[in-house]
Amino acid sequence: MSTFKQHSVLPGFNLALGFTLLYLSLIVLIPLSAAFFRAAELTWTEFWTVVTTPRVLASYRLTFGASFAAALTNALFGLLIAWVLVRYQFTGKRLIDALIDLPFALPTAVAGIALTALYAGNGWIGQFLEPLGIKVAFTPVGIYVALTFIGLPFVVRTVQPVLEDIETELEEAAAMLGANRLQIFLRIIFPAIFPALMTGFALAFARAIGEYGSVIFIAGNMPMVSEITPLLIITKLEQYDYAGATAIAVVMLVISFILLLIINLLQWWSRHRNALA
Amino acid sequence: MTTITISYPDKSRRTAITQEPAWVRRTLIGLALIFLALFLFVPLISVFYEALKKGVDVYFAAITEADARAAIRLTLIAAAIAVPLNLIFGVAAAWAIAKFEFRGKNILTTLIDLPFSVSPVIAGLIYVLVFGLQGWLGPWLAEHDIKIIFAVPGIVLATVFVTVPFIARELIPLMQAQGTEEEEAAVILGASGWQTFWRITLPNIKWGLLYGVILCNARAMGEFGAVSVVSGHIRGQTNTLPLHVEILYNEYNYAAAFAVASLLALLALITLAIKTFVESKVTQQKIKE
């Protein structure tokens, strides 16, 4: 025990840690392991065949492509919104700041039907896009719109505190030495917020690849065209193809865990960067 | 997912030398507002507009009919079980992680966050693999006539899974920042462990705790994907509010679907309001310290 835990006068360590481990095992770890044990019942060839059929491959391409595009949009506009909220004064700023987290608080199904109604051919926004030949609802573009919505807060909330902490002195010094605003942004501000920006991007991307509720209403869900991987898992499950559903789920889980690892590294980098600055 | 942001002296008031020209400022603010309008405000407003489009009578009929009431009840039950369970878990995990030094702490912290990186659909699937008819415990449960999947216990379990990290991840950094001196002093002066927790720790973490609870509650009541997999969609029995929205929508009953959805949107707005209030409290507490 002595090497495992440093001495402390505070009581309750065994109880608190014991309960934490028991709860986590029962609710999270053992059920999650079920997916891996189930998938292990397949031979490698069977597993590989299931997770690489053309329909499954098309769903990966769509899920990762749309998630990447959405996370990229979030990085760009998230940075813009964080910048505007930290640096400028304008009316309604506090209200907007509070509403940024709406995609975290609004149930995904509600977001899904609201975006579908807006971007359908007769919707508030869709009616202006349709004459231009842009169809959003029931196409992959709709998936991109839904994923952009749910990922919006991540970049804003990771970049905002870092931007608030940047010392003005550094910018003032650069300005005195003759740097213009763009140079100051590119050489001083952007490097300081880059790790946070990457973290926000990765968080939005990780959230998007697993997203289901907001996407299925607007996607159209056509196999090979607008069918996301999480939906494919449900489809297999409804056909009682447990092995197939589990195999695809394991692929998604492995990718999610790798992303989690990357996010942890990015956050460490971000903290390290800020500690040095 | 969110962390409590603390605003220090306002950085938006700046000297001319580190300020962009007015036209740049206006363009940037304009672009940000257009983006937010398209992706946030208009969707939010449209929920209430669509809900009330067919009139107030249709609206109230939709949210008071028997199936909607059953869905509200089940949503409240699921949240009433999931939130307290994860509250106890969050406090226990934070106590162990923030107040003690032990090996494997970083791994434990990462494991707590795991449910956030698992797709909701997979969260539902793993419970089917454990408790479903084909699952590990399926045959035994069938023998004893216990239904978990396609029944209320499955919905509760899936809800608990997706909300595991919320309270723990608010409390851990907060309690780490507060250190252990106050608790150590209390224990040395003869207070018992529980006394120390109730009198010292709890008052210090109450706002962070409330913050975690309301976010946990919002997710518990709004969860869709995980619950959808384990629910079986039996109207009036295993339908939560978000699932009820889906059923009404797929039946082309848009006015009713948006009416029920507006209840959830209202919940989201209340959540954001309490969250903003709690954040201001936390900022005040920080400044006092």
pLDDT tens digits, A141-151: 999 999 999 99
* Cβ contact B35–A19 (<8 Å): no
* Cβ contact A117–B50 (<8 Å): yes
Looking at residue A271, what is its pLDDT? 80
What domain range includes position A161? 43-276
CB atoms within 10 A of CB A216: 26
Decide if pLDDT at B51 tops 60: yes
Q: Does residue A1 fall inside a structural domain?
A: no
List of residues 6+ apart from A61 with CB closer than 8 A = none
Q: Does residue A72 fall inside a structural domain?
A: yes
Q: Does residue A21 fall inside a structural domain?
A: no
Closest CA to B88 of A13, A10, A19: A19
Query: Is A106's Cβ below 8 Å from some Cβ in B?
Result: yes
Percent of chain B with pLDDT over 70: 94
CATH code assigned at A238: 1.10.3720.10
SS3 content of chain B, % helix, strand, coil (to 5): 80, 0, 20
What torsion do the CA atoms of A52, A242, A108, B57 make, to the nearest 10 degrees?
A: 130
Looking at residue B287, what is its pLDDT? 74
Q: Does residue A75 fall inside a structural domain?
A: yes
In B, minimum Cα distance to A236 occurs at B125
CA distance A108 to B118: 16
Alpha helix positions (H), chain A: 13-24, 30-40, 44-51, 54-87, 93-99, 102-105, 108-119, 126-129, 140-165, 168-176, 181-184, 190-210, 213-219, 229-238, 242-276
CA distance B81 to B153: 10
Q: Does residue A68 fall inside a structural domain?
A: yes
CA distance B47 to B266: 10
* Cβ contact A114–B44 (<8 Å): yes
Decide if pLDDT at A167 tops 90: no
Beta carbons of A121 and A137 less than 8 angstroms apart: yes
Looking at residue B4, what is its pLDDT? 54
pLDDT tens digits, A115-142: 999 999 889 999 999 889 889 989 999 9
Task: Report residue B155 as tokens.
Answer: 């919905």
Looking at residue B11, what is its pLDDT? 55
Residue B10's pLDDT band (boundaries 50, 70, 90)?
Answer: low
CA distance A102 to B43: 11
Query: Is A272's Cβ below 8 Å from some Cβ in B?
Result: no
| More confident call, A220 vs A38 | A38
* Cβ contact B121–A212 (<8 Å): yes
Q: Does residue A18 fall inside a structural domain?
A: no
Lowest pLDDT segment from A75-79, B141-145, B158-162: B141-145
Number of domains observed in the structure of chain A: 1
Task: Report residue A249 as tokens.
Answer: 């789920």
Q: Does residue A94 fall inside a structural domain?
A: yes
- Exposure of B237 in the CB half-sphere (CA atoms within 13 A): 10
Looking at residue A274, what is its pLDDT? 66
Residues of A in contact with B268 (CB under 8 A): 102, 105-107, 110
pLDDT tens digits, A75-98: 999 999 999 999 999 999 999 999
Average pLDDT of the residues in B186-201: 92
Give per-residue burial for B154-167: e unless 16+ CB within 10 Å, then b. bbbbbbbbbbbbbb
CA distance A15 to B102: 14
Q: Does residue A6 fall inside a structural domain?
A: no
- Global pTM reads 0.92
CB atoms within 10 A of CB A256: 20
Closest CA to A212 of A184, A244, A235: A235
Decide if pLDDT at B289 tops 70: no
Task: Report residue A169 as tokens.
Answer: 């002195």
In B, minimum Cα distance to A119 occurs at B43
pLDDT tens digits, A229-241: 999 999 999 898 9
In A, minimum Cα distance to B117 occurs at A256
Closest CA to A245 of B135, B116, B227: B135
